[in-house]
Each structure stands twice: as C-alpha cells, then as structure tokens.
Amino acid sequence: MKIDRRRLVALTAAGAAGVLTPELLRGSAAPKEGAKVPGGDLPAREASWYRRLEEGRVECQLCPQACTVADLERGTCGVRENRGGTYYTLVHSLACSVHVDPIEKKPFFHVLPGEKALSFATAGCNVECKFCQNWEISQFRPEQVEAYFLPPETMVATAKRTGARLTAATYGEPVVFWEYVRDVAKAANAAGLRPTVVSNGFIQEKPLREVLPSLSAIKVDLKSFREDFYRDQVRGKLEPVLKALEVIREVGVWLEIVVLLIPTLNDSEAEIEDLSAWVFEKLGPDVPVHFTRFHPTYRLTELPPTPVATLERSWKIARKQGLNYVYLGNVPGHPGENTVCPGCGEILIRRMGFRILGNRLKDGACQKCGRTIPGVWE
C-alpha cells in the first residue's frame, strides 16, 4: 500500500501526538505491504546531537566523522540535512527493512536463546565498508529506498503481534538513526520487550551514553584491530570504536563482539593476538567474541571465503589469551557455535546455525558445576 502526501502528513502528526488510530495505521504499519515513502515527502525531525555554527552551518555531534554541514547539505551518512541552521534526521520512523529473526542471527549467543527479535533498519551509514553485506540500504539515501512508516509505538506493537520478545536495530547502521533507536528502545521497555542494537560502534561518547541505559544488549562489529584497515577498508577510525566498547562495558549493558575475518586483510595471528589481549585487559574475559567467516561481496569480490582453519586458529588464540566465550560464525554445525562452561567443559547451549538444539542452562548457571554464565537469560 502506497502512502500519498496527505496520508503521510496525517500519520506523522498522529504519531507525534500519540494518537495512532487503526484507520491511520492500516496498511502503513504492516511491513509486508511495502509502503513507499516518496523522497520529497521525507518526514524530517530535528536531530538530537549537533551544534549550530556561523553562516548557517552546523556540526554533527553524533559520530566521529563530526561533519560540518552547510545549509541544504547533508552529512557523510546521507540521512541528516541542514535546513537553515537546524539539523534534521530524515529517517526517524522510516524503516526500510523489517524482519522477524532468531536472536542468534544478530548474532547474540548470550541473550534469550531461541527467542525472536523484530529487526529493523533505515537507509544510510556513517562509514563505507568494502565488504558490506547490506550495501543496498547502507550506501543509499533514504529517498532511494522503499520504507515503511513505523513510529516507535507501532514498531513495538508489531513486535508483540509477531511474538518477538526483542527488538533489534540492525542490518544498516543504527548510529545514523540513533534518535529512532532511542525512541524504539523506550517504547520496547515500556511494553516489556528487550531492545537490542547491532552496530559498528563508530559513535561519539555523549549520544552513546545517553541511549545505552535504555538498551538490554549491544553487539559491536570490530572490523579489525589495525588503524590502517579502518582507513583503507572502512573509511572510519579504530580508536573511537575501542572507546565505545569501553564505555559500553563501563555502563554495564550486555556486550558481544563480532570480528569478520577477511583473508590477508585482518586475519594474521599477530592481529588476533593483539585484539584478544586488548579485549581481555579492557573488557574482561567474559565478553563473547565471535569470529565469523567472510564471503566475497560488494567491493571485495576478488578474495576467497575465509578458510575454516583460519577461524579455528583464531579461536585457539583467543582462548589462549584468556577469553572464556569464543565462537565461530557462518559455519553451521561447527562445534565453535556451542556455548561451553569455562568451569567444567559441559556443553550448555548446542546450536546449529540459528537454531537451538539444546539448552542446559538453569537460572543462568551451569547445571553440572553451578558456575554462573553471564548474559541476558530472562
């Protein structure tokens, strides 16, 4: 069902007033119906993290790009626009991808195993990974993709209708729709759902700290432990990501880390040793680290898939460095998918891809030896 200009204005006004009626929401609230929002009708909202400069310019204070944006221009992400010295987000409540996924797909392995998450994304990203799996939405502007008009309350109502116990801002980069993430998280908490985020962690400290208390869990893609990789392959910076990881750990929100191992670029033994040692020292031994298999995509099609032997070698290095929960990803059926008790070696959660084959945790602890396993279990 398509949304014309009059209907979109009515939806936006009603959503802001908190009076979303069934008549207004019918069609636009249903993700499968693919309502397209015309580019000229993007329902802009004032952004939350920026400061005004001279001559009508603004400085974005959301991510480390810290874009200085002239009037009628946009930042690097393509979803924030300066209009006469006021900065706007163009993607609040405009979800271009909405699906119900197993939480293991994010991947979260220590968060409500076997439960479903209503996953959502908007267009745009604040970096450009050459190996991006979702480049069709992350590297496009909001007027270039179809979107569903889903205000936070509607997103949460949709999650409850599907039986999902979690929401997940994912697929694209949630940092660029951080106001939407914040508001969905608030609505999710009020409805008894668990809000989660899957991010690149490329965010300034202030907006991160402001939203973290509303989240139940966050997964960060640590692209590499080398600054040159971030510069050449990501168009970003490593240091702000490491700082974000430390802040997340300090605040106490559940954290998991994913490292996509790309042959010849970030898979050396030395780099894995350095990365694992840093996680152990700065974040502690109980933060799960997932080493996942690369498959050629986007602008990195000349490289082969990651050998399983490389994943297994990285698993051994991380375990040797003292990390208790190390996983292998994109290798369904591999023992590296299972959660094993660090105390007695008992297999606690057995997985096959995104499916849970067995769960021997009881009240967040190993039934055999009684060791507490950190995570979000209830």
**Of the residues 313, 333, 353, which one is the last residue of a structural domain?**
333
**Rg (Cα) of the chain, in Å, rounded?**
21
Domain enclosing residue 28, as ranges: 5-89
- Residues 129 and 22 occupy one common structural domain: no
- Residues 168 and 81 occupy one common structural domain: no
pLDDT digits (tens, 9 = 90+) for 272-299: 999 999 999 999 999 999 999 999 999 9
Helix (H/G/I), strand (E/B), else coil: 59:
strand
- Choose among 344, 349, 336: nearest CA to 371: 344
- Residues 67 and 152 occupy one common structural domain: no
pLDDT at 314: 98
β-pairing verdict for 355-359 and 347-352: antiparallel
Extract the tokens encoding 300. 């990195």
- Residues 53 and 157 occupy one common structural domain: no
- Residues 327 and 195 occupy one common structural domain: yes
Q: What total number of domains does the chain contain?
A: 3
- Residues 84 and 138 occupy one common structural domain: no
- Residues 21 and 85 occupy one common structural domain: yes
- Residues 323 and 350 occupy one common structural domain: no
For the chain, give the number of residues.
378
pLDDT at 6: 38
**Of the residues 29, 63, 89, which one is the last residue of a structural domain?**
89
In the block, residue with structure tokens 């974005």: 60
- Residues 17 and 67 occupy one common structural domain: yes
The C-alpha atoms of residue 123 and residue 134 are separated, in whole angstroms, by 10
- Residues 308 and 371 occupy one common structural domain: no
Which residue ranges of the chain lie beneath pLDDT 50? 1-34, 38-40
- Residues 315 and 372 occupy one common structural domain: no
**Of the residues 296, 317, 333, which one is the last residue of a structural domain?**
333
Extract the tokens encoding 7. 């209907």
The enclosing domain of 303 has a CATH number of 3.20.20.70
- Residues 157 and 76 occupy one common structural domain: no
Q: Which amino acid is present at 103?
A: I
pLDDT at 33: 35
